[in-house]
Amino acid sequence: MMEILKKEKSEVLIDQRSGSEQPRVEEKGHPAFKGKIERVLELSGFRRRNTLLGLDIGSSGIKFAEVNKTKKGWRLVNAGIVDLSSEVFSKVDTPGKLALDIRNALRKFKVTTNRAAISISGDDFIQRPIRVPRMPKKELEQVLIWEIKKYTDLPSDQLCMDYIVNPKQDESTDNLDVFLVSAPKRRIEERISLIHSAGLKCAVLETKAIALTGAVLELAPEFCRKTFAVLDIGCKTSVLNIVRDGFLSFTREIESGGENLTLALCNKLKYEHKKAETQKREVGLLSEVREDGPDSAEESLDVAKTLEQETDNLVQEIRKSFEYYRAQFPEDEVGELLLTGGGSGLPGLQKFLSQRLEMDVRLFDPLDSLLSVENPEARKYMQQICGRLSVALGLGTWRR
């Protein structure tokens, strides 16, 4: 819902997948928001084209999902991951080379569409669910401007800002639940330029947190009426969302990911990085250690204990987040935690988190709701990588 640069015909969307059409934003309002909203995809005729490429550019690789909406549901046309360690990537991390890397990766997987939905993230991006007293739109936008100024020194004309009010909120309530997004124009321009240089048309920009939420709500609609959390464990960071009745009510980026576990093994057990990565994937947490493990039982126990100690740091951050959410919404309770991302496949993680957090924890499997992938070899490949595709699928299934 948030258009970033009109001249680029792209938009950052606060797409809460609420199950209802989002209202058009009227022209009246605060000047900082006026003119920021535009249904660019309608103007460009995008609604007549069903296929969209969800493109997630992360620190560990390029993840993409080419998705098509049919009468029977979402059909996965193409998907893949090219790791940063692959020969496709250059060691020189420059925008020009990265654009070439993206182009080569998509050519390698024979991607057919050039209309892309891409994710954005970073320390200078502001994403804040806030609750404010009910007020007229113009006053609300002024309050949101003040809120943004708490977190950035950039002037308003150098920022792209937008918000959405929870469309399901009862009009009789005294408060408004609002999700606010702000990003430096410079960063948006750089990302759009990168995508154009890769030979793609940038149709949609979304934050990773919103794309992740969208993936669950679109591909597991039974969660639309629940309060749940979803944890995307990436290479260097993890994203934790709490979603209430289809509305993103809390989001946080945690400085902990799969690489933290690997480095813990390198530091404490003096492993080389390659061995640490292998041991992490094969041994896992204590609950998974067996007498007939890949190495000696003693070494496996050392690996598992080290991984548990490091994972406990993540548990503490999750607990803090839940406590903060309960303080903001005392009438609500998080019912279930969904795991996704490359780090979610750590052996024993699901059971470990369930015990530590004392709640239901399960893996989010988007394949259950996607059509096709009938070829046995293709389905096996998708089962191996689907945990890393949630953000790309959330982008690809963006609701037109």
* Domain covering 2-124+183-220+366-396, topology: Nucleotidyltransferase; domain 5 (3.30.420)
What pLDDT was estimated at residue 124? Answer: 82
What pLDDT was estimated at residue 84? Answer: 60
73 contacts: CB under 8 Å, gap ≥ 6: 369, 370, 371
| Both tokens assigned to 257 | 């990911």
Alpha-carbon distances of 335 from 96, 223, 225, 245, 369, rounded to whole Å: 45, 10, 11, 12, 22
Write out the residue limits of the CATH 3.30.420.40 domain(s) in the chain. Answer: 2-124+183-220+366-396, 258-363
* Alpha helix stretches (DSSP H) within the chain: 40-43, 95-108, 137-149, 185-197, 208-219, 258-269, 273-283, 297-328, 349-357, 376-385, 390-396
The residue among 95 and 145 whose pLDDT is bigger is 145
Are 85 and 22 in contact by the 8 Å Cβ rule? The answer is: no
**pLDDT interval class at 288 (50, 70, 90):** low
Per-residue pLDDT tens over the stretch 26-68: 334 444 443 332 222 222 233 334 688 999 987 778 899 988 8
Instruction: Check pLDDT > 60 for residue 91.
Output: no
User: In the predicted model, what is the mean pLDDT of residues 339-349?
Assistant: 92
What pLDDT was estimated at residue 379? Answer: 73
CA distance 319 to 184: 31
**Assigned architecture for domain 258-363:** 2-Layer Sandwich (3.30)
Highest mean pLDDT among 90-99, 212-221, 295-304, 375-384: 212-221
| Residue matched to tokens 């009426």 | 225
Instruction: Check pLDDT > 70 for residue 273.
Output: yes
Alpha-carbon distances of 11 from 17, 70, 356, 380, rounded to whole Å: 16, 24, 40, 35
Range scoring the smallest mean pLDDT among 170-184, 216-230, 239-253, 262-276:
170-184
- Which letter does DSSP use for residue 371 in this model? B
Instruction: Check pLDDT > 90 for residue 323.
Output: yes
Which among 210, 235, 241 has a CA at the least distance from the CA of 338? 241
Instruction: Check pLDDT > 80 for residue 191.
Output: yes
User: In the predicted model, what is the mean pLDDT of residues 135-155?
Assistant: 89
CA distance 300 to 296: 6
What pLDDT was estimated at residue 95? Answer: 65
Are 235 and 257 in contact by the 8 Å Cβ rule? The answer is: yes
Strand order in the sheet with 247-254: 247-254, 238-244, 227-233, 336-340, 360-363
Instruction: Check pLDDT > 90 for residue 316.
Output: yes
CA distance 164 to 14: 7
Range scoring the smallest mean pLDDT among 195-199, 335-339, 367-371:
367-371
User: In the predicted model, what is the mean pLDDT of residues 93-105?
Assistant: 79
| DSSP-assigned states of every residue in 54-93 | EEEE-SSEEEEEEEEEETTEEEEEEEEEEETTSTTS-SS-
Which among 180, 211, 227, 225 has a CA at the least distance from the CA of 329? 227
Percent of the chain's residues with pLDDT above 90: 37
What pLDDT was estimated at residue 21? Answer: 40
What pLDDT was estimated at residue 26? Answer: 34
What pLDDT was estimated at residue 373? Answer: 60
Strand, helix or coil at 53? strand
User: In the predicted model, what is the mean pLDDT of residues 293-317?
Assistant: 86
Angle at 343 between CA 340 and CA 346, to 5 degrees: 105
Range scoring the smallest mean pLDDT among 151-160, 207-216, 348-357:
151-160
> What mean pLDDT value characterizes the chain?
80
**pLDDT interval class at 376 (50, 70, 90):** confident
Rounded to 10 degrees, the C-alpha dihedral 283/289/295/300 comes to 80
Gyration radius of the chain's alpha carbons: 21
Highest mean pLDDT among 214-218, 318-322, 331-335, 389-393: 318-322
- Which letter does DSSP use for residue 233 in this model? E
What pLDDT was estimated at residue 94? Answer: 62
Are 111 and 78 in contact by the 8 Å Cβ rule? The answer is: yes
Instruction: Check pLDDT > 60 for residue 10.
Output: no
